[in-house]
């Protein structure tokens, strides 16, 4: 068949507008602030074989597992797929990335032929398991973390399977999660309608051949990007601290990257074996982390589809910390992304020093649960606004201030302050850039933040998960490292308590002050070479102190 | 005789439409004077007076109303040319403005920078005060603290100050006190407390909007003062009304209080004009698009109302005031064609602008643009562009494609030009989709109105892609927004936060909020010289299901508010949620909650009538200028088709496609599957012949049409 190159462009934009529309719908209809305020979700379209057509990746770490799960579903159900079916999935041992990230898939038929799938995956406020909200630092097995949902139909030919639905939600604490799954199904229905009309309009043959051409042309772009990287083998290393079980424990991550003529191999075989706790990656979360890191080093306008992924090869052996074997606990796995990114940046620093960044701030985060006195009901909130530090600097650019973890790269938003005070019983006292939090350099790191919250309500529990309180983000080529993360509870009686980086603190009394520092990013290049005007600007804006300016930038106030 | 005048001042052209109440219209276009737009404004009036054939003084004396759309605010914001502005906010929240909730719009682009805040950090001051979410004062304001800030404002020569405190939507007392104190002490500085700009919940939205107003305040204020001064000096004593982003007009005094209302003042008249032209054809719903040199604006009208929302931003600066939902994408005559690394043809968003312009302008432009493609495809007449004022060079256009695009695509220049035409049409179709499909509306149910110089060449392809059966090119296509300005009503939007579940709603409080907004509105409208009886109220409730975070702005009836018809309102909400998001939770009996109450007050202005000039129509055959080769997308080849002179008096006739209709200010391409009817207003209705086999019977229903051969 003749390929109409123009139609290929039209289709690509068409797919993108569909996944964007699904994303807008989810933002507007979901209830958990994790979804509607922070946008911790992704929407996507896949072809009949589960190959990615396009995605809207608010939180990229979730994104690159949807295609693999779709392929699993197709393998599992084979011909037992019908219009009106809806399949739900979260299982990390069949390509899911994290237990809390629950996906909904809807098959799309045109003239009784399966042509594709629409999917939406979001981080649910609760998914059963021992601890509300899912993050259980004491977990050693998956069942202590979550309800496992392998691919299962919750709608069959358009009719809800009440028995299955009830079984699932009988094991989940919050009613809200049911509503949010309904919103995800709604988004998939929008995607189904739109892809259906697009494919019907052009006909199946045209759709197939032009979709394939889109994949091929995208693959070509990615291969030419890889061709620009000097061929060779590069190694990098980073460290994960504390598995939630053994204080002081640490686990190295090693990567060997081989750049060949037109493809790239990421080999993590030499990384640590899996931990006893929940600090373990899944195959999907690790591949997502690799992909999203590498995408930041190539042309950002590459269309996101299966073709983009073809030249990327992953070696992540089972049993390692990045691909724990059944039935390990893995909820922390998404948050190994910063360390995976660090190892990759360090490795490729020798090959493409102008494309990589210095160290990003690592996630350290709190999840609050408790009773809101106004409603008498439970609330769950991830303290997004407190956790977002700065990104690492790169050649030619300062890091991005208060962007947050590299897994999201600015796709996850702070709660609005006034909405936060309505939805939770807490009072926000401070949320500002922290002076001297960024690593110095010719290009400085992004700024970190300082947050203070006066805790209210009752039955308040705080679950802490993260890292970055032992080793600060590194600087590059003469740029300096930045500062550590910190969380501290300041009790009314004057006592202070610093939780571990994976911890649960229960019954936090009213009027306790929650204090958090999210560090900045690492600097790039010799700070003495920094443009004087920029140093002056930073000092005037009080994000770099006079002392620091004198010490590192050779600046003296005139 | 009395005149109404619409003046739309853009970056390149100042468009003027002058209408007498007898219905005669003068359309005029002159070059803008960007260094001081008011010069062009007055020049425009002089030239219009000449065209009217009257002495200047007499003409001015006969002008009743001037409605003005301005890009002064837009350009100041886009080019960072606002004034030195400071911000005073609650201690602990110095950076909310700059942080923008921590978003980086391009996640994979490590070269992507945050937008520079309109107030740099060293001019963001904090005050140790705090009010909680229930309105209770936790930390009382101490005005003495402001004295240090006053010193800095003086020493830094700050011209304008935004004031935004936490929870001021609930209790504005501290903001008011600070404004009062500072206004007394600093006479030459303008102050903008957030409670006077946007008294609703969501701190980031409020602080950002307030800062935009403060940043633009003195510029917009000076411009208006200057303009009023000039109008006074030519002894104009009629009314001057300013177009707002919400599509309504207000007197200059109101604009100075909240200048952010004018950031879309220019394009905001587009949908208003659209609504008018739709009503002439008995349509209540339309999509109006305007394709200019660099951008393509699209907006939607339902039930004769232009859709407004509070989700706008300009240049990544968030402005949460009600504003027309106008989508702007980078697609225009100057859009540049290029090939990406995967070998796919792309158009824009980069534009060749006015200088160097498209290659065919022969001003040194080397990159192939949309206009170059249109020329090669025969849609444009090289000898008759802008009525022949600009000669187009076909060779240069072909050469640009040959050098820049042929090597990457291995197609002929003609094939590539056809591809460029198709890609840009598809981009614009996506823009139309954004204002329609993505808002839950089916574009096929809307009248499609196409304006701007370049639009009517591209419209039939956009329609084909979206399956829209017909489109309308208004007779005033080239000054569409200026025409729309004459149709604007006085319009004021008010908002109050009221956070409550429906179950716990307090009837008295609910009604009080509405009556307080109504009282405020009546006061303003009376100042604008409005008779109380001509005011209509349009209430809106921001509602959501309990537990949801984002609300749906639901339009309700004033009677339902006054009679407290909660049940009816709930029903309407379930329906609207279902329409927008594919499901409702009516059966689950999920409770509703309210976030904000809003009131829009409108006073219908007296409208000039755009009557036809009742000239005799010529036979369409006599309007044929000649024949030329034009690309026909349906058959993918060039074909010799007739070219009509659209400036001849062709009314009430049917012109068969394929053909090109040339006017001085625009060209219309009627493709092979389309026919065109010219109505008795001189507007062009182009429709898909297969969908209207009997011919389109809208306006010309009772008229015998003269049919082209």
Domain boundary among B562, B580, B603: B603
A vs B: CB pairs below 8 A: 201
Q: Give residue B702's pLDDT.
A: 46
Of A13, A224, A433, the CB nearest to B341: A224
Sheet with strand B592-603: strands edge to edge: B25-31, B13-20, B3-9, B63-70, B239-243, B249-250, B490-501, B592-603, B535-545, B552-555
Residue A478: per-residue pLDDT: 96
- Which residue does chain A place closest to B551, by CA atoms? A28
Closest CA–CA distance from residue A130 to any residue of chain B (Å): 24
Distance CA B448, CA B286 (A): 6
| Band (B701; pLDDT cuts 50, 70, 90) | very low
Q: Where are the alpha helices (DSSP H) in B563-651?
A: 566-581
Task: Quickly list DSSP for B15-67.
Answer: EEEEEETTS-EEEEEEE--TT-HHHHHHHHHHHHHHHHTS-HHHHHHTEEEEE
pLDDT of residue B509: 94
| Residue B580 pLDDT level (bands cut at 50, 70, 90) | confident
Which residues face B668 on adjacent strands?
A: B661
Instruction: With CB atoms and an 8 Å threshold, state whether A410 touches B550.
Output: no
Helices (H), A48-127: 60-63, 66-77
Q: Can you give the pLDDT at residue B662?
A: 92
Residues B227 and B208 in one domain: no
Q: Do A428 and B550 touch (CB under 8 A)?
A: no
The answer, for B626 touching chain A at a CB cutoff of 8 Å, is no
CA angle at B496 for the pair B492 and B500, rounded to the nearest 5°: 145
Kindly list the residues from chain B whose CB atom is less than 8 angstroms away from the CB atom of residue A418. Answer: 133, 166-167, 169, 201-203
B568-B569-B575-B578 Cα dihedral, nearest 10 degrees: -140
Q: What is the CA radius of gyration of chain A?
A: 23
Which chain B residues are within 8 Å of A430, Cβ to Cβ? 91-93
Q: Are residues B188 and B324 in the same domain?
A: no
pLDDT value of position A73:
97
Segment B656-666 shows an average pLDDT of 89
Residue A501 tokens, joined: 């980086």
3-state secondary structure A472-491: CCCCECCCCCCCCCEEEEEC
Dist CA B540 CA B569 (whole Å): 11
Same domain, B120 and B203: yes
Closest residue in B to A294 (Cα) is: B108
Can you name the residues that pair with A449 across neighbouring β-strands?
A433, A518
Taking CB atoms and an 8 Å cutoff, what residues of chain B touch A225? Answer: 341
The 10s digit of each residue's pLDDT in A84-135 is 999 999 999 999 999 999 999 999 999 999 999 999 999 999 999 998 888 8
CB B640 within 8 A of CB B658: no
In tens, the pLDDT along B35-47 reads: 788 998 999 999 9
Residue A394: the pLDDT is 96
Tell me whether residue B662 is in a domain. yes
The SS3 of residue B379 is: coil
Confidence of residue B698 (pLDDT cuts 50, 70, 90): low
Selecting from A190, A384, A418 the residue whose C-beta is nearest the C-beta of B133 gives: A418
Quick check: B93 and A33 CB within 8 A? no
Residues whose CB is less than 8 angstroms from the CB of residue A431 and which lie 6 or more positions away in sequence, other chains included:
A385, A386, A414, A417, A449, A450, A451, A452, B92, B93, B95, B96
Q: Which of B107, B422, B582 sits opposite A410 (nearest CB)?
A: B107
Give the rounded percent of residues in chain B with a pLDDT score beyond 70: 94
**Average pLDDT estimate for A331-335:** 94
- The whole-angstrom separation of Cα B591 and Cα B597 is 18
Contacts with A, B 524-583, CB within 8 Å: 545, 547-550, 552, 577, 580-583
Is residue B609 a part of any domain in this protein?
no
Which distant-in-sequence residues (6+ apart) come within 8 Å of B112 by Cβ?
A: A300, A400, B104, B105, B106
Q: Which residues of B touch A186 (CB under 8 A)?
A: 581-583
DSSP B168-211: TTT--HHHHHHHHHHHHH-TTSEEEEHHHH--SS-HHHHHHHHH
Contact between A300 and B109 using a beta-carbon 8 Å cutoff: yes
Kindly state the tokens that stand for B182.
Answer: 């500072």
Q: Which residue has the higher pLDDT, B254 or B351?
A: B254
pLDDT at B609: 64
Mean pLDDT of chain B: 88
Q: Reply yes or no on whether the pLDDT at A65 is more than 50.
A: yes
Q: How confident is the model at residue B562 (pLDDT cuts 50, 70, 90)?
A: very high
pLDDT in tens, A225-282: 999 999 999 999 999 999 999 999 999 999 999 999 989 999 999 999 999 999 999 9
Position B150 pLDDT exceeds 50: yes
Indicate the pLDDT class of residue A549, thresholds 50, 70 and 90: very high
Please tell me the distance from the alpha carbon of residue A234 to that of residue B177, in angstroms, as a whole number.
63
Q: What angle do CA B625, B629, B635 make, to 5 degrees?
A: 130
Whether residues B230 and B332 fall in one domain: no
How many domains is chain B partitioned into structurally?
A: 4
Which residues from B are below 8 Å from A452, CB to CB? 92
pLDDT for B192 beyond 90 = yes
Q: Model confidence over A150-204: pLDDT tens digits?
A: 999 999 999 999 999 999 999 999 888 999 999 999 999 989 988 998 899 889 9
Burial (CB < 10 A; 0-12, 13-18, 19+), residue A165, is middle
Distance CA A114, CA A117 (A): 8
How far is A360 from chain B, CA to nearest CA, in Å?
Answer: 12
Band (B585; pLDDT cuts 50, 70, 90): confident
**Model confidence at B438, in pLDDT bands (50, 70, 90)?**
low
| Cβ atoms A134, A320 nearer than 8 A | no
B107 and A60: CB-CB below 8 Å? Answer: yes
pTM greater than the 0.90 cutoff: no
Q: What count of other Cβ atoms lies within 10 Å of the Cβ of residue B23?
A: 13
| A545: Cβ contacts below 8 Å, ≥ 6 apart | A435, A436, A539
pLDDT in tens, A205-241: 999 999 999 999 999 999 999 999 999 999 999 999 9
Query: What's the pLDDT band for A301 if we cut at 50, 70, 90?
Result: confident
**Stretch B505-527: mean pLDDT, rounded?**
91
Based on the fold, state whether residues B429 and B534 are members of the same structural domain: no
* Nearest chain A Cα distance for residue B211, angstroms: 17
Identify whether B356 is preceded by a cis peptide bond (ω within 30 of 0): yes
Tell me if chain A has a CB within 8 Å of the CB of B423.
yes
User: Is the model's pLDDT at B703 over the cut of 60?
Assistant: no
Residue in A239, A460, A236, A464 with CA at minimum distance from that of residue A332: A464
Nearest-neighbour CA in chain A from B121: distance (Å): 5
CA distances from A496 to A244, B78, B83, B333 (A): 21, 48, 46, 65
For range B461-484, the mean pLDDT? 87
Residues 6+ apart with CB under 8 A from A515: A450, A451, A452, A486, A487, A488, A489, A490
Judge: B167–A422 Cβ closer than 8 Å, yes or no. no
State whether B423 and B283 are in the same domain: yes
Would you state the pLDDT for residue B256?
A: 94
| Residue B395 included in any domain | yes
On the question of pLDDT at B700 being above 70, the answer is: no
Q: Which residue has the higher pLDDT, A446 or B646?
A: A446
Residue B110 has pLDDT above 80, yes or no: yes
Distance, in angstroms, between B340 CA and closest chain A CA? 8
The verdict on whether omega for the bond into residue B658 sits within 30 degrees of 0, i.e. cis, is yes
Q: Quick one: closest CA in B to A304, which residue?
A: B108
Query: CB of A9 within 8 Å of any CB in chain B?
Result: yes
pLDDT at B34 over 80: no
CA-nearest residue of chain A to B200?
A: A418
Q: Do B102 and A385 touch (CB under 8 A)?
A: yes
> Are residues B443 and B573 located together in one domain of the fold?
no
Task: Assign residue B21 the CATH number of its domain.
Answer: 3.30.420.40
Tell me the C-alpha distance between B88 and B121, whole Å. Answer: 11
Cα dihedral B151, B155, B161, B166 sign: negative
* Partners of B629 in the β-ladder: B640
**Judgement on whether residues B211 and B228 belong to the same structural domain of the protein:** no
> How close A304 comes to chain B (CA, Å)?
11
What is the number of other CB atoms lying within 10 angstroms of the CB of residue B533? 6
Peptide bond into A507 cis (omega under 30): no
Q: Which residue of A has its CA nearest to B115?
A: A400
What CA–CA distance (Å, rounded) separates B413 from B419? 10
Per-residue pLDDT band for B119 (boundaries 50, 70, 90) equals: very high
CATH code for position B570: 3.30.1490
Residue B305 domain flag: yes
Among the listed residues A100, A130, A116, the one whose alpha carbon sits nearest the alpha carbon of residue A45: A116
Interface test with B, best of A402, A403, A407, A536 (most B CBs within 10 A): A402
Cα A143 from Cα A124, distance rounded (Å): 17
For B578, name the nearest residue in chain A, comparing CA atoms only.
A186
Helix axes A5-29, A175-202, angle to 10 degrees: 160
Instruction: State whether residue A425 is helix, strand or coil.
Output: coil
Judge if B638 and B582 occupy the same domain: no
Residues B273-277, mean pLDDT to the nearest whole number = 87
Q: Å from B377 to nearest chain A CA?
A: 17
Instruction: Return the minimum-mean-pLDDT range out of A80-89, B211-220, B345-354, B408-417.
Output: B345-354
pLDDT-derived band at B12 (thresholds 50, 70, 90) equals low
Residues 51-80 of A with CB under 8 A from B: 57, 60
B 62-101 residues with CB < 8 A to A: 91-96, 98-99, 101
Is the same domain home to B315 and B279? yes
Q: Which of residues 113-142 of B touch A (CB under 8 A)?
A: 113-114, 120-122, 132-133, 138
Residues B358 and B503 both lie in one domain: no
In a domain, B608, yes or no: no
B382/chain A closest Cα distance in angstroms: 27
Q: Does A27 touch chain B (CB under 8 A)?
A: yes
Put simply, the answer to whether A408 touches B120 (Cβ < 8 Å) is no
**DSSP, res A93:** G
pLDDT of B361-377, one tens digit each? Answer: 898 999 999 999 999 99
Q: What is the C-alpha to C-alpha distance for residues B19 and B6, in angstroms, rounded to an integer?
A: 9
- From A366's Cα to the closest Cα of chain B, the distance in A is 17
Question: What pLDDT, on a 0 to 100 scale, did the predictor assign at position B1?
Answer: 58
Q: Could you tell me the residue range of the domain that residue B545 belongs to?
A: 490-603
Triad B567, B568, B569: Cα angle to 5°: 90
Question: What is the C-alpha to C-alpha distance for residues B474 and B459, in angstroms, rounded to an integer?
Answer: 13
Query: What would the mean pLDDT of B489-506 be, rounded to a whole number?
Result: 88
Interface subset of B 1-60, CB within 8 angstroms of A: none
pLDDT band at B353 (very low <50, low <70, confident <90, very high): low
CA B486 to chain centre: 15
Residue B519: count of CB within 10 angstroms of its CB: 9
Residues A451-490 pLDDT 10s = 999 999 999 999 999 999 999 999 999 999 999 999 999 9
Examine the fold and report which residue of B572, B603, B634 is the final residue of a domain before the chain moves on.
B603
Which residue of A9, A28, A410 is in closest CB contact with B423? A9
Question: CA-nearest residue of chain A to B442?
Answer: A194
pLDDT, greater one: B327 or A283: A283
Query: Rounded to an integer, what distance in angstroms lies between the CA atom of residue A520 and that of residue A514?
Result: 19
Selection from B683, B646, B15, B618 nearest residue B384 by Cα:
B646
Residue A311, Cβ density class (10 Å: 0-12 exposed, 13-18 middle, ≥19 buried): buried
Residue B105 sits at the vertex; the CA angle it makes with B99 and B106, to the nearest 5 degrees, is 130
Residue of A nearest to B168 (CA): A418
CA A189 to chain CA mean position, Å: 25
When the pLDDT of each residue in chain A is averaged and rounded to a whole number, the result is 94
Chain B hits for A177, CB-CB cut-off 8 Å, are none
DSSP state of B452: S
B572 shares its domain with B633: no
- Range with lowest mean pLDDT among A423-437, A534-548, B679-693: B679-693
Which of B234, B261, B288 is the last residue in one of the domains?
A: B261
Residues of B in contact with A24 (CB under 8 A): 438
- What's the first-to-final CA gap in chain A, in angstroms? 72
């Amino acid at each position: 068949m003749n390929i109409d190159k123009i139609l290929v462009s039209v289709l690509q934009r068409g797919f993108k507008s569909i996944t964007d529309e699904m994303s807008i719908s989810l933002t507007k209809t979901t209830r958990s602030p994790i979804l509607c305020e922070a946008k911790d979700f992704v929407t996507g379209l896949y072809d009949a074989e589960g190959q990615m057509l396009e995605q809207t990746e608010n939180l990229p770490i979730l994104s690159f597992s949807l295609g693999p799960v779709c392929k699993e579903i197709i393998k599992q159900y084979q011909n037992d797929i019908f219009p009106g079916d809806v399949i739900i999935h979260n299982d990390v041992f069949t390509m899911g990335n994290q237990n809390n990230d629950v996906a909904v898939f809807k098959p799309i038929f045109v003239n009784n032929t399966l042509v594709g799938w629409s999917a939406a995956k979001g981080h649910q406020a609760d998914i059963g398991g021992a601890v509300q909200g899912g993050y259980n630092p004491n977990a050693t097995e998956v069942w202590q973390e979550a309800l496992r949902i392998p691919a299962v139909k919750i709608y069959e030919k358009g009719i809800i399977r009440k028995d299955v639905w009830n079984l699932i939600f009988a094991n989940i604490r919050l009613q809200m999660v049911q509503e949010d799954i309904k919103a995800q199904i709604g988004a998939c229905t929008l995607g189904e309608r739109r892809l259906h009309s697009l494919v019907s309009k052009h006909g199946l043959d045209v759709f197939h051949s032009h979709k394939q051409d889109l994949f091929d042309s995208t693959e070509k772009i990615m291969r030419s990007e890889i061709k620009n990287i000097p061929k060779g083998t590069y190694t990098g290393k980073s460290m994960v601290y504390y598995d939630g079980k053994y204080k002081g424990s640490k686990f190295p991550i090693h990567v060997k990257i081989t750049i060949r003529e037109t493809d790239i191999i990421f080999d993590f075989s030499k990384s640590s074996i899996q931990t006893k706790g929940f600090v373990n990656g899944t195959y999907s979360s690790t591949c997502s982390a690799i992909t999203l890191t590498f995408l930041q080093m190539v042309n950002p306008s590459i269309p996101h589809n299966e073709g983009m992924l073809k030249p990327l090869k992953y070696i992540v052996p089972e049993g390692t910390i990045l691909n724990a074997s059944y039935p390990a606990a893995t909820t922390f796995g998404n948050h190994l992304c910063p360390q995976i990114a660090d190892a990759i940046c360090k490795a490729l620093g020798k090959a493409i020093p102008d494309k990589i960044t210095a160290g990003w701030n690592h996630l350290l985060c709190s999840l609050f649960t408790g009773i809101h006195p106004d409603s008498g009901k439970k609330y769950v909130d991830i303290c997004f606004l407190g956790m977002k530090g700065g990104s690492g600097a790169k050649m030619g650019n300062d890091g991005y201030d208060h962007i947050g973890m590299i897994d999201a790269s600015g796709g996850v938003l702070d709660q609005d302050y006034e909405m936060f005070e309505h939805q939770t019983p807490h009072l926000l006292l401070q949320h500002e850039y922290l002076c001297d939090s960024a690593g110095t350099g010719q290009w400085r790191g992004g700024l970190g933040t300082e947050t203070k919250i006066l805790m209210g309500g009752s039955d308040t529990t705080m679950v802490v998960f993260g890292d970055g309180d032992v080793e600060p983000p590194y600087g590059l080529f003469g740029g300096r490292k930045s500062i550590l993360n910190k969380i501290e509870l300041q009790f009314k009686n004057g006592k202070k308590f610093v939780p571990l980086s994976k911890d649960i603190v229960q019954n936090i009394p009213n009027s306790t002050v929650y204090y958090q520092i999210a560090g900045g990013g690492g600097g790039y290049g010799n700070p003495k070479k920094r443009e004087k005007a920029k140093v002056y600007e930073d000092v005037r804006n009080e994000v770099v102190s006079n002392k620091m300016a004198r010490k590192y930038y050779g600046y003296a106030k005139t | 005789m009395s005149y109404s005048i619409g003046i739309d001042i853009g970056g390149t052209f100042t468009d003027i439409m002058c209408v007498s109440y007898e219905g005669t219209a003068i359309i005029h276009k002159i070059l803008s004077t960007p260094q001081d737009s008011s010069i062009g404004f007055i020049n425009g009036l002089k030239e219009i007076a000449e065209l009217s054939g009257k002495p200047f003084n007499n003409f001015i004396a006969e002008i009743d109303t001037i409605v003005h759309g301005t890009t002064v605010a837009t350009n100041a914001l886009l080019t960072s040319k606002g004034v030195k502005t400071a911000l005073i906010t609650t201690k602990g929240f110095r950076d909310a403005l700059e942080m923008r909730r921590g978003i980086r719009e391009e996640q994979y682009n490590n070269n992507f920078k945050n937008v520079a805040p309109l107030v740099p950090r060293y001019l963001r001051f904090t005050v140790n005060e705090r009010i909680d979410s229930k309105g209770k004062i936790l930390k009382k304001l101490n005005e003495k603290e402001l004295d240090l800030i006053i010193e800095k404002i003086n020493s830094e020569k700050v011209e304008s100050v935004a004031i935004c405190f936490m929870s001021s939507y609930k209790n504005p007392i501290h903001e008011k006190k600070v404004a009062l104190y500072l206004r007394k002490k600093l006479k030459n500085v303008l102050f903008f407390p957030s409670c006077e700009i946007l008294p609703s919940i969501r701190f980031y939205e409020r602080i950002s909007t307030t800062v935009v107003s403060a940043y633009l305040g003195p510029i917009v204020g000076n411009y208006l003062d200057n303009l009023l001064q000039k109008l006074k000096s030519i002894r104009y004593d009629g009314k001057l009304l300013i177009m707002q982003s919400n599509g309504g007009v207000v007197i200059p005094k109101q604009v100075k209080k909240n200048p952010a209302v004018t950031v879309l003042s220019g394009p905001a008249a587009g949908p208003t004009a659209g609504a008018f032209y739709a009503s002439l054809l008995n349509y209540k719903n339309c999509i109006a698009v305007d394709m200019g040199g660099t951008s393509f604006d699209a907006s939607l009208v339902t039930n004769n109302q232009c859709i407004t929302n509070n989700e706008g931003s300009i240049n990544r600066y968030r402005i949460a005031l009600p504003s027309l939902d106008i989508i702007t994408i980078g697609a225009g005559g100057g859009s540049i064609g290029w090939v990406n690394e995967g070998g796919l043809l792309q158009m824009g968003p980069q534009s060749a602008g006015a200088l160097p312009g498209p290659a065919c302008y022969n001003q040194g432009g080397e990159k192939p643009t949309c206009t170059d493609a249109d020329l090669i495809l025969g849609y444009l007449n090289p000898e008759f562009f802008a009525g022949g004022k600009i000669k187009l060079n076909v060779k240069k256009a072909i050469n640009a494609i040959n050098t820049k695009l042929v090597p990457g695509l291995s197609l002929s220049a003609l094939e590539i030009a056809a591809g460029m035409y198709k890609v840009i049409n598809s981009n614009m179709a996506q823009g139309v989709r954004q204002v329609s499909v993505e808002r839950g509306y089916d574009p096929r149910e809307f009248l499609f109105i196409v304006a701007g110089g370049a639009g009517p060449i591209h419209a039939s392809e956009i329609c084909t892609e979206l399956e829209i059966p017909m489109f309308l090119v208004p007779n005033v296509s080239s000054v569409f927004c200026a025409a729309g300005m004459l149709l604007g009503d006085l319009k004021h939007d008010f908002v109050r936060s009221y956070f409550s579940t429906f179950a716990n709603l307090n009837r008295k409080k609910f009604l009080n909020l509405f009556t307080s907004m109504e009282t405020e509105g009546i006061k303003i409208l009376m100042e604008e010289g409005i008779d109380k009886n001509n005011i209509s109220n349009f209430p809106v409730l921001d509602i959501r299901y309990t537990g949801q975070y984002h609300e749906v702005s639901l339009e309700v009836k004033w009677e339902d508010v006054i009679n407290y018809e909660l049940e009816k309102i709930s029903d309407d909400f379930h329906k609207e949620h279902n329409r927008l998001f594919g499901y409702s939770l009516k059966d689950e009996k999920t409770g509703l909650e309210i976030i904000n109450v809003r009131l829009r007050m409108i006073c219908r202005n007296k409208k000039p009538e755009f009557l036809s000039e009742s000239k005799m129509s010529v036979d369409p055959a006599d309007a044929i200028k000649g024949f030329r080769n034009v690309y026909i997308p349906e058959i993918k080849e060039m074909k010799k088709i007739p070219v009509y002179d659209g400036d001849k008096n062709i009314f009430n006739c049917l012109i068969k496609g394929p053909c090109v209709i040339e006017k001085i200010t625009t060209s219309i391409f009627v493709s092979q599957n389309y026919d065109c009817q010219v109505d008795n207003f001189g507007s062009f209705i182009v429709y898909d012949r297969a969908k209207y086999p009997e011919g389109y019977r809208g306006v010309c229903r009772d008229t015998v049409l003269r049919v082209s051969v």
